[in-house]
Each structure stands twice: as C-alpha cells, then as structure tokens.
C-alpha cells in the first residue's frame, strides 16, 4: 500500500473574536495549533488487496444499479434526490418530515430545517448536472446554492477566519480538529482541482479521497459536510458511474456517523483506507436502498391505478406521475407543467382526493396544496431505514 501524506500542525497566535468581558479575556489562550494539510494532486495510492476487492464489488454493484434499477427510478429521480438531501442534512443534525420539506419548497421557505434541506436538494441537483469534472468553480457554485438564502455573506466564498470542530465556542485550543489557516486555502483548493481532474484512480476511490481532502481543508465557514457529500455525487456522475439517478450515498453514511467521522480523522493522520472502504460499503448499501425505493414506488403506482376511476385519457393519470416525483403540489404548478388550465387540474385533483390518492390542505391564505400520503410515508420510511444501523 502506498503511503498517504498526513497533516502536520503549526502554532499560530489566537486573536479573540469581538469584544469580551474582562474575565473571558483573561482566560483566552495566546496561541493555538492549526493543521497544515499536504497537497494530493500527484500522490500515488494503492490499496490493500481486501479493499481493492471491495472497491471492485461496489463498482459492479453501482454500475448494475445504474444500468437496471436506476432506469426504473428515472421517473422518480427527483424524489430520490430529495431523499439523499434529507440524509445528508441529517448527518448535520438537520431534520424535518418529508411533508414539511415539500411544503417549504412550494412556499419558497428559506429558514428553519425544512428550508435548509430544500437548499441542500438544489445543491445536490447542481452537483449531478454540472458539466465535466467538478472543480473549484463548481464547488463554489454548489456552496452558493446551499447557503445563498440562509447565509448570503458566506455563500460561495472561501472562509477568511479560523474554524474548528468540537471544543469551546470561544477558541479552538481544545478542539477535536482545527482546519488549516485561511491563507492556505487557495493553494490547497488549486491542488484539489488537479486531483479532481485525474482519471487514473478508480471512481469510488477518487470520490472518497476527494471528499476526505475537502473535509480536511474545510474551505468554507459553514456547509463543508453537505458540499463535500455533493462532491461525491458530482464525481460519480462526471466519471460515468452514476448517470440516471442520485445514488443515496449519504443514506449509507447516516447508518454509522461515528465511523464516518472516525474515518475522516484517520485520513488526516495519513490513513485513507477506512474512508475508502466506508464509501465503497455505503455505495453498495445505497444501491440496495435505491432498489428498495424503486420497488416500493412502483407498487404505489400500481395501487393508485386500481383506485383511480377517471377515463384513461383523463389528465388524472398524468398527475399521478407528477405525484410520484413531487408528492406535494398546487394546481397552478401542475397546470404549468402539463399545459392544462388550473381549473381542470383542480377538478382532477379533487377526483384523485375522492379516490384516496391525495389529501388537500391550506398552506397559506392563497395557497391550497394536495399531498400524496403514500409517497410521503414512504419517504419518511426511507429516512428511517437509512438511519437504521445494519447488523454486522
């Protein structure tokens, strides 16, 4: 196995942020230790034989999923993307029900957990639709998409201040990890750019190492984890391993968050094997979850077909397909998508309500929505299944 460079440390003066009380000022440290992160653009990496075998198995599993089961998911791809965004947000302890997230999307809500998850969905969508290999520009764009509504001052910009993980809110002395000083970020991101452009590394290994390196650099004031997981999707898409639907990798990581964080820690110490293995294992689990979701959605569609009483040429049937990808809708949005008058769509939704497919509710004074409980319950079940740790 080839060696992987470990981070070292430098001692820097600590300058307190903002005004402090006299007592707090007296307890402030004079200096702190910050990571010095090595570049990886040209590092050669070879795996243990067991890890290489796992990567091969995961690659075959993901390729099969993308070629077969993901094809079934194409009509439901927006739903899978939302599910993956929910899982990525849950890793950051941002939780909300599927219904609240969908309603927030309709209402344009940008605050609260639901609004942040909606933004994460937009970020994921940007990740899998960017042209070519991801680079610094696309990462900045993804970060801007994530935080432009909730934190516009830091969205799409590299940080200019120290950040740290764990420890005190006042200083980084007792932190679990202190990422590199802001002055190192431009050079490290330029190096990461070169690494992202490489094609000599197996795709899943490439995604795992790039993710871990970005997390180690921690280039943003906030949103590093969600952007780093979006980077995994961008690479899988750019390298052609996952083209039809977003592979729910975050759903796999969510099953064992401590192991995920431990893998990132040992990566910084020069051992990338755990994060490479974990991403491979999560990719296999993601394909299983995606297949399960596709099967459940197909069964819901079949159940609806038995319940709907409208003529076969009625717009009701076209609305069913929309509900499978977007289970909370307004008559206006559906009308725009299908090119049918809002009045006719409203009548169709009322028929679907009588058939037991949707339920109506008033979101705001002038906003009436219809939701598909079967799909929303499935999404919440998917989230619960994602967060349930597998038995060894």
> What tokens does 331 get?
């008559």
Q: Give the bridge partners for 371, in sequence order.
A: 328, 359
- CA contacts within 13 A on the Cβ side of 197: 11
Residues 6+ apart with CB under 8 A from 357: 304, 307, 308, 320, 323, 372, 374
CA distance 6 to 178: 14
Q: How far apart are the first and last CA of the chain?
A: 27
CA distance 386 to 392: 16
181: annotated active-site residue: no
Pick the catalytic residue: 206, 211, 218, 237?
218
Instruction: Give burial (CB, 10 Å; 0-12/13-18/19+) of 344.
Output: middle
Instruction: Give burial (CB, 10 Å; 0-12/13-18/19+) of 44.
Output: exposed
Q: Give the bridge partners for 35, in sequence order.
A: 9
> Helix and strand tally (H, E) in the chain?
17, 5
CA distances from 388 to 79, 210, 347, 377 (A): 20, 26, 41, 16
3-state secondary structure of 112: helix
What are the binding residues for ATP? 222-229
What are the binding residues? 222-229
Query: If you write DSSP's letter for every residue of 250-298 in order, what string do you get?
Result: HHHHGGGHHHHHHHHHHHHTT--HHHHHHHHHHHHHHHHHHHHHHHHHH
Which active-site residues does the annotation give?
218
């Amino acid at each position: 196995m080839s060696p992987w460079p470990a981070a070292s440390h430098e001692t820097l003066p600590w300058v307190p942020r903002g005004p402090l009380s006299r007592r707090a000022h007296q307890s402030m440290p004079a200096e702190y230790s910050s990571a010095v992160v090595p570049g990886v653009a040209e590092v050669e990496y070879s795996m243990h034989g067991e890890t290489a075998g796992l990567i091969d198995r995961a690659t075959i599993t993901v390729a099969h999923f993308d070629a077969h089961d993901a094809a079934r998911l194409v009509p439901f791809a927006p739903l899978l993307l939302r599910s993956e965004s929910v899982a990525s947000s849950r890793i950051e302890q941002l939780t909300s029900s599927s219904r609240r997230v969908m309603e927030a999307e309709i209402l344009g809500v940008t605050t609260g957990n639901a609004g942040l998850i909606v933004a994460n969905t937009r970020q994921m969508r940007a990740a899998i639709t960017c042209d070519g290999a991801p680079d610094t520009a696309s990462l900045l764009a993804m970060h801007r998409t994530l935080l432009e509504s909730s934190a516009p001052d830091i969205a799409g910009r590299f940080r200019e201040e120290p950040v740290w993980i764990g420890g005190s809110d006042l200083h980084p002395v007792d932190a679990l990890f202190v990422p590199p000083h802001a002055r190192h970020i431009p050079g490290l991101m330029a190096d990461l750019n070169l690494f992202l452009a490489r094609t000599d590394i197996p795709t899943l290994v490439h995604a795992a190492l790039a993710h871990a390196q970005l997390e180690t650099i921690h280039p943003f004031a906030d949103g590093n984890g969600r952007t780093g997981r979006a980077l995994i999707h961008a690479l899988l898409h750019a390298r052609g391993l996952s083209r039809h639907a977003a592979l729910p990798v975050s759903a796999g990581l969510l099953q064992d968050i401590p192991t995920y964080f431990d893998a990132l820690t040992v990566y910084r110490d020069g051992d990338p094997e755990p994060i490479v293995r974990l991403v491979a294992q999560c990719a296999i689990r993601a394909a299983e979850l995606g297949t399960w979701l596709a099967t459940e959605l197909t069964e819901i569609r079949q159940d609806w077909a038995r319940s709907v009483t409208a003529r076969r040429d009625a717009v009701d049937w076209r609305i069913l397909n929309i509900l499978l990808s977007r289970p909370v809708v307004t008559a206006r949005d559906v009308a725009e998508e299908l090119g049918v008058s809002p009045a006719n769509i409203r009548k169709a939704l009322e028929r679907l309500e009588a058939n037991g497919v949707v339920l109506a509710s008033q979101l705001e004074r002038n906003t009436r929505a219809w939701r598909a409980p079967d799909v929303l319950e499935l999404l919440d079940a998917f989230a619960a299944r994602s967060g349930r740790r597998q038995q060894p």
